[in-house]
Structure formats: structure tokens, C-alpha cells
Amino acid sequence: MFSYALFLQVTFAAWMALAQTQGGAAAGSGAQSESGGASEKVYQFNEVDKPAKILSRPHPDTAGFEGLEGGSGTIMVEAVLSASGAVKDVKVIRPLPGSITSAGREARRRLTESVLRAVYGIKFEPAVKDGKPVSQRIKVAHTFGLGSGVIVGDGAKLVYYPEGCADYSRITPGKTVLFRSKEEARQAGYKKAKSKCLR
């Protein structure tokens, strides 16, 4: 099983240049996203009246994940769910673990591309602010491996989110912590977050 609970290396730079719109926006309050020459505000989860609603999300092709060193790994991706209904500015913010073998590097490349394609395939209803659709930034985590899941925690608040979240934008920037199980998170002193995540 794998979870959608939310990474890029230099070898993907050329691919990302084609896949992304011009320059990713910095993750911040009211950040600006440059897309096709037009500038639009991109909001965080807590800055909108109604967050974006994920309607469907393709599952990445997991073929070849066993080529990853250790047989598993987690990748986290950031994207903008735009007011127009398109997924934009997709970028890896936490890559799959590195590999010293050519098979491992190839598995990492294929799996990363598969996750990026899946994120671009997300269907959603745009976020709403002041009665109008707006663009919202999200974070998506995906874990590869037999029976592997990922529990994502916020190191600043010492809380963890349920497995299978579609968006981790509420996590304090730079404070993402990954656990192999809820029990591991609890043993580390984390409590289950009271707020619900997007699904």
C-alpha cells in the first residue's frame, strides 16, 4: 500500500524546466506566482475562506519502487491549485533518498517523474476567498514501499497528521518530520492533530 500522506535532484532540472510554469513562487503569505506573464496571488491553507477541495488524484505508477535503496522512500511535492482549475508550479521539496547504484538512481528518477505526473493530474475545486476562486499552495507526500505508510508531523507544534492526507500546508515551514507509524510519532512525544487535513 502507499499513501498520499507530501523531492528533486539535479538530473530532473531540464524536465522540471519544461513541466513548471515560469519560476516557482516562494511559499509565503500572499505569494505571487508568475504564470504565462500574468501575476496571481497564491494563498496558504489558513488564508482562504474555503480551502481547495480535492475531487480526484491519480495514483503514481509504483513499478520499480523495489529498486530504491532500502526498498522504500518518501517524496514530498509542492504545487499550486490555481483559481482557473489548473495545477501549476509543481516542484519537489523533499526528494526520494539518494542512491549509489545505477538501478537505484533509475528507480528514483522513474518514481519522481510518476509522482509529478500524478500531482499534475489532480482534479479539484479551487479555494475561495471573499466569494471568489483563488489559487492555493499545497504539499503532497507519497511513500513507496510494500506496506509502507508515512505519518507526517509538525516539529513546531509536536502534532502528527493522519496517513493519507492530500495536503500538508498547515505544517510550519521547515518543520516537517516523517514517522514510520503513529506509534513512532507518539513515542517521540507527538499528538494527533485536531484539525482535519484535505483528502
Asked if the structure places residue 121 within a domain, the reply is yes
pLDDT in tens, 98-107: 777 787 788 8
Whether this prediction's pTM lies above 0.75 is answered by: no
Q: In what order do the strands lie in the sheet with 176-179?
A: 176-179, 151-154, 159-161, 191-192
Q: Is 127 inside any structural domain?
A: yes
154 within some domain = no
* pLDDT attached to residue 34: 44
| Domain housing 85 | 10-139
Residue 170 phi, psi (nearest 5):
-75, -15
What was the pLDDT predicted at 31? Answer: 54
What pLDDT was estimated at residue 116? 94
**How many domains would you assign to the chain?**
1
4-55 pLDDT, tens digit each: 333 323 223 323 333 333 333 333 344 555 444 457 899 988 899 999 988 8
Residue 128 has pLDDT above 90, yes or no: yes
Q: Supply the pLDDT for residue 29.
A: 42
For residue 127, the model assigns a pLDDT of 94
Q: Which conformational region is residue 30 in: left (phi greater than 0), alpha (psi within -120 to 50 degrees), or beta?
A: left
pLDDT for the residue 197: 63
Domain assignment of residue 145, yes or no:
no
Please report, for the domain that includes residue 37, its CATH number. Answer: 3.30.2420.10
Q: Is residue 153 part of a domain?
A: no
Residue 18 within any structural domain of the chain: yes
The mean of the pLDDT values for the chain is 73
pLDDT in tens, 171-186: 776 677 777 678 878 8
Asked if residue 172 belongs to a domain, the reply is no
Flag whether 146 is in a domain. no
pLDDT surpasses 70 at 65: no
Using a 10 angstrom Cβ sphere, with 0-12 exposed, 13-18 middle and 19 or more buried, the burial of residue 70 is: exposed
pLDDT class of 120 with cuts at 50, 70, 90: very high
